[in-house]
Amino acid sequence: MTTNTLNPPSISQQLISKYNVPGPRYTSYPTVPFWYNLPSESTWKDLVKASFDCSNDQDGISLYIHLPFCSSLCTYCGCNTRITVNHAVEEPYIATLLKEWQLYLDVFEERPKIKEIHLGGGTPTFFSAKNLKRLLDGITKNAIVCDNVALGFEGHPKNTTKEHLQTLYDLGFRRLSLGIQDFDPKVQLIINRIQPYEMVEEVTQNAREIGYTSINFDLVFGLPLQTLASVEDTIQKVNQLRPDRIAFYSYAHVPWLKPSQRSFAPETLPSDAQKRALYELGKRQFEEMGYEEIGMDHFALPSDQLYQAAKNKHLHRNFMGYSPFHTRLMVGLGASSISDSWTGFIQNAKKVEEYTDLVDKGQFPFFRGHTLNKQDLILRQHILNLMCDLSTEWTTEDLNNPAIYKGIEKLGEMEKDGLVERHPHQLIITEKGRPYVRNVCMCFDEYLWQKSPQSQIFSQTI
């Protein structure tokens, strides 16, 4: 199938114009720009210990480990990275990660049960297979690894070797996520992410031969120089490799935060309508290929655990993205990592040197955070429900809550547009409303209403 039109009939120009506004992605609530109630180190320890004691025996805990080093800069990227070709940075950084982990072990006072580990970056496969093993051995030696543990890592096709795959598989990893973004050589060149199809094919085949059971491809729509034809070609190539999951992310153009994005001339970026057309094309093709849409931006084959979790309403969303299960405590290790005790958030220092210095002093290395109050927790749960299940249910107490009452009122225009259905004790996002899930959540974001940012701090919602 070849698509020539930039604006398929399913796209409403009027809706795009109305709802394409800056908005959070809701990997947390409150969102990071509205973290005002910074916990002290003592308070953070109390929050972590309470969460750990409440859930470790039953659910275990999750770990996110940020490995920030990359050998080159991808100019579209919004992640916290450190660009270097000096691999001597690996061992000192791992030593610091293990020191930070010990700070948490001291708070737990008993062996944690690890339910999930995700290695993110940066480029985790910048690290040698030997050093990744050293890191994981250090993390797990004083912990209990759950029988149904979910271990995953992000790999760059350019440097994910068979040794990486085999070493991590032997450590229990079964999930691999590959950053593809786009297969078009022109797009790869302008975003400085060059990786031919054959390279991705080799890594994918190696992973399957070794025994990985869930392979994810990250794709991005809205990148400079993308066209309907180029995205269609990328998706056809993806279909040849049949990953179990696909994350189809909207490119977040935030040049005020990421100076490398200023290298894109405005005329190279698709318009709002063209960008939405790229998503509609992808969604249609993924569905024709047998994938089911999960939450926001994600697609999975019916055989994948993420699809099963969504079907059974067990889907969870946190700073690692969507997960097939929920742990109350997520510990983030490494520079810029975010930890979530459910009742509080903290983010580590972003610069490697500052992060290392604080850990070496025996301090939790965070520089910002938020302790959630009762109102935060109520709104957080409803926003989480909407992001994961596209619906939420109101209790009588909820309906007497001024923030929720006001949020429901704000949805009147969206209901007229067919994006939501408001029922006496339930809110449902319709199929037509899926592209606007962030806008729906914004109606219940009390901090966003109250502060009304004067400058743009979020990417566009559409």
294 is in an annotated binding site: no
422 is in an annotated binding site: no
DSSP code of residue 147: E
405 is in an annotated binding site: no
121 is in an annotated binding site: yes
Burial string for 273-289 (b: 16+ CB within 10 Å, else e) reads bbbbbbbbbbbebbeee
Helix 197-210 to helix 228-241 angle (10° resolution) is 30
For residues 327 and 55, the answer to whether their CB atoms sit within 8 Å is yes
381 is in an annotated binding site: no
2 is in an annotated binding site: no
Residues facing 318 on adjacent strands: 321
Choose among 356, 387, 455: nearest CA to 99.
356
95 is in an annotated binding site: no
Spatial separation of the C-alpha atoms in residues 358 and 381, rounded to whole Å: 33
Which sign does the torsion angle of CA 201, 207, 209, 215 carry?
Answer: negative
138 is in an annotated binding site: no
Q: What is the 3 state secondary structure string of 168-223? A: HHHCCCCEEEEEEECCCHHHHHHCCCCCCHHHHHHHHHHHHHHCCCEEEEEEEECC
78 is in an annotated binding site: yes
Residue 284 zone, left/alpha/beta (φ > 0; ψ -120 to 50; rest): alpha
Residue 89 neighbours by CB distance under 10 Å: 16
152 is in an annotated binding site: no
Chain-centre distance for alpha carbon 41: 26
456 is in an annotated binding site: no
338 is in an annotated binding site: yes
244 is in an annotated binding site: no
Spatial separation of the C-alpha atoms in residues 440 and 388, rounded to whole Å: 13
**Annotated binding site for [4Fe-4S] cluster: which residue ranges?**
70, 74, 77
**Annotated binding site: which residue ranges?**
64, 70, 74, 76-78, 121-123, 154, 181, 193, 218, 252, 338
**Annotated binding site for S-adenosyl-L-methionine: which residue ranges?**
64, 76-78, 121-123, 154, 181, 193, 218, 252, 338
